[in-house]
Amino acid sequence: MSRIPHAKREELSTEHQKIWDHIHAARSGGGGPYSMLLHVPPLAGNVAATEDYFRLDSALSDADREIVILAAARELGAHYPWMRHEARGRQVGVRPEVIETLRAQGSRDGFTAREKLLTDIPLSLIREHGLADALFARAEGELSRRQLVEVIALVGHYSTIGFIANTYQIPAPEGSRTF
Amino acid sequence: MSKLPNATREGMTPAQQKIWDKVHEGKSGGGGPYSMLMHSPEMAQHFAATEDYFRNNSLLPDADRETIILIAAREVEAHYAWSRHEIRAKQCLPGEVIEALRSRAPADKFTGRTALLVEFTRSLMRDHYLSDELFSKMEKEFGHAKFIECVGLLGHYITIGTVIRMFDVRPAAGTKTF
């Protein structure tokens, strides 16, 4: 049970119901952060469009994207996004060892250089809001300019998602394992 | 000089140039975080749309909005964002509040709604969490929709602030920030 009731479609204007329908058409369940964000439909629409960009058109590969999101969700302690993206991470081939290590916040010594980089970036940004010069140099060496900008923005986007999940204590479905 | 060269309109596809023009029409100068975000124009347009929403259609009064943005910019140490929003904040916030935000004064140095926003913003940024008591205060003060906007605005400015800090996007030379 979240801290406030979910937004309800029948209480929205016709125009805002279109935003609701668009958001729900692309998402199963309809819960999660959008159950709260849809109290402000135009904002929910913008956040969903950003999310859709990352999911469908990003310069990052699916696995790269999901590793960044999982590291961010775990660091923020955001259960609902973790649950969704653990499932998606498995679908797109994120190694189970990576998922379990992030879940346990364990040593990442067994990660590949790219996995290490893609988890170092969100951890550093969330903890310190920046990257040390050496980490920035690694990121610039490994990622294209567009990918680098997208990774930074993706971590920011998941701060929004994680903050909504945490502020409203949006639970993962009963019985699901998070961390 | 930022850590990456600014994105430039030349070299973009016609579709990307349309995005460029739309993003820049609402922004003076065209520098700042979008000089970096526009290395991915198709992505940048969505952050610009969120920014436009908060600027033009937000349910939050200007004073609340600028308070949240200044606190976020200060926490993330995003000098460029601070410099732009200090100008806006001067139109809706008392000078002593801006100075206290600049010096990261503790929450008990503020009063009323500003004190609540300071506590809310710092709690979410530092602990990623709101206590039941703080949540109740925010909900009572703002109601569902405006409270959600506070959270969304904070998340958006963490993105903007992080881009600014990470790529070292600087304000004009000689600008006083913090």
Please report, for chain A, the start and end positions of each structural domain, with discontinuous segments joined by +.
Answer: 9-56, 62-167
Residue appearing with tokens 């067994």: A110
Q: Supply φ then ψ for residue A27, to 5 degrees.
A: -135, 130
Judged by a CB distance cut-off of 8 A, whether residue A53 touches chain B is: yes
pLDDT reported for residue B2: 86
Provide mean pLDDT across the span B149-171. 96
pLDDT band of B89, cuts 50, 70, 90:
very high
Q: Is residue A119 within 8 Å of A32, Cβ to Cβ?
A: no
The tokens describing A147, both together, are 């990918």
B3–A129 C-beta distance less than 8 A: no
Q: Which residues in chain A (65-124) have CB-CB distances under 8 A to chain B?
A: 76-78
Taking only the tens place, the pLDDT of each residue in A55-76 is 999 999 999 999 999 999 999 9
Residue B44 falls within a domain, yes or no? no
pLDDT band of B172, cuts 50, 70, 90:
confident
Residue B134 falls within a domain, yes or no? yes
Give the C-alpha separation, B152 to B8, whole Å. 29
- For residue A70, give the nearest of A34, A110, A118 by alpha carbon: A118
- For residue A126, give the nearest of A155, A149, A154 by alpha carbon: A155
pLDDT reported for residue A26: 85
In three-state secondary structure terms, A23 is helix
| Cα–Cα–Cα angle for B160, A68, A136, rounded to 5 degrees | 65
Q: Cβ neighbours of residue B100 under 8 Å, at least 6 residues apart?
A: B109, B110
pLDDT reported for residue B27: 66
Q: Which residues in chain A are closer than 8 Å to B161, comparing Cβ atoms?
A: 129
pLDDT band of A29, cuts 50, 70, 90:
low
CATH code, domain carrying B73? 1.20.1290.10
Residue B155 falls within a domain, yes or no? yes
Half-sphere exposure of A43 (CA within 13 A, CB side): 31
- For residue A150, give the nearest of A71, A58, A62 by alpha carbon: A58
Judged by a CB distance cut-off of 8 A, whether residue B127 touches chain A is: no
Of B43, B124, B135, Cβ closest to residue A3: B135
Q: Residue B72: which domain range? A: 62-166
Q: What percent of chain B has pLDDT over 70?
A: 97
The tokens describing B169, both together, are 């996007």
Of A130, A146, A163, Cβ closest to residue B124: A163
Q: Is the confidence at residue B20, as pLDDT, over 90?
A: yes
Give the C-alpha separation, A119 to A158, whole Å. 14
Judged by a CB distance cut-off of 8 A, whether residue A132 touches chain B is: no
Q: Is the confidence at residue A174, as pLDDT, over 70?
A: yes
Q: Which residues in chain A are closer than 8 Å to B151, comparing Cβ atoms?
A: 160, 163-164, 167
The number of folded domains in chain B is 1
Task: Measure Cα distances from B20 to A45, A50, A149 in Å.
Answer: 21, 17, 16
Q: Which residues in chain B (141-160) have CB-CB distances under 8 A to chain A?
A: 144-145, 148-149, 151-152, 154-156, 158-160
Give the C-alpha separation, B123 to B128, whole Å. 7
Q: What percent of chain B has pLDDT over 90?
A: 90
Residue B84 falls within a domain, yes or no? yes
Q: Which residues in chain A (13-52) have CB-CB distances under 8 A to chain B?
A: 36-37, 39-40, 42-43, 46-47, 49-50
Taking only the tens place, the pLDDT of each residue in A83-94 is 999 999 999 999
Q: What percent of chain A has pLDDT over 70?
A: 99
Give the C-alpha separation, A161 to A155, whole Å. 10
Judged by a CB distance cut-off of 8 A, whether residue B100 touches chain A is: no
Q: Is residue B150 within 8 Å of B117, Cβ to Cβ?
A: yes
Fold of A62-167: AhpD-like (1.20.1290)
Residue B145 falls within a domain, yes or no? yes
Residue B18 falls within a domain, yes or no? no
Q: Which residues in chain B are closer than 8 Å to A54, comparing Cβ atoms?
A: 43
Give the residue on A whose Cα is nearest the Cα of B131: A167
Q: Is the confidence at residue B28, as pLDDT, over 80?
A: no
B159–A156 C-beta distance less than 8 A: yes
Taking only the tens place, the pLDDT of each residue in A115-164 is 999 999 999 999 999 999 999 999 999 999 999 999 999 999 999 999 99
- For residue A76, give the nearest of A6, A150, A162 by alpha carbon: A162
Reported ipTM exceeds the 0.95 cut? yes
Residue B4 falls within a domain, yes or no? no
CB atoms within 10 A of CB A78: 27
Residue B159 falls within a domain, yes or no? yes
Please report the DSSP string for B91-119 in residue order: TTS-HHHHHHHHTT--GGGS-HHHHHHHH
Q: Cβ neighbours of residue B94 under 8 Å, at least 6 residues apart?
A: none
- Which amino acid appears at position A33 of this protein? P
Q: What's chain A's average pLDDT?
A: 96
A136–B50 C-beta distance less than 8 A: no
Q: Is the dihedral of CA A82, A105, A64, B152 positive or negative?
A: positive
Give the C-alpha separation, B127 to A70, whole Å. 18
pLDDT reported for residue A30: 66
Q: Is residue B85 within 8 Å of A128, Cβ to Cβ?
A: no
B43–A149 C-beta distance less than 8 A: yes
Provide mean pLDDT across the span A99-120. 98
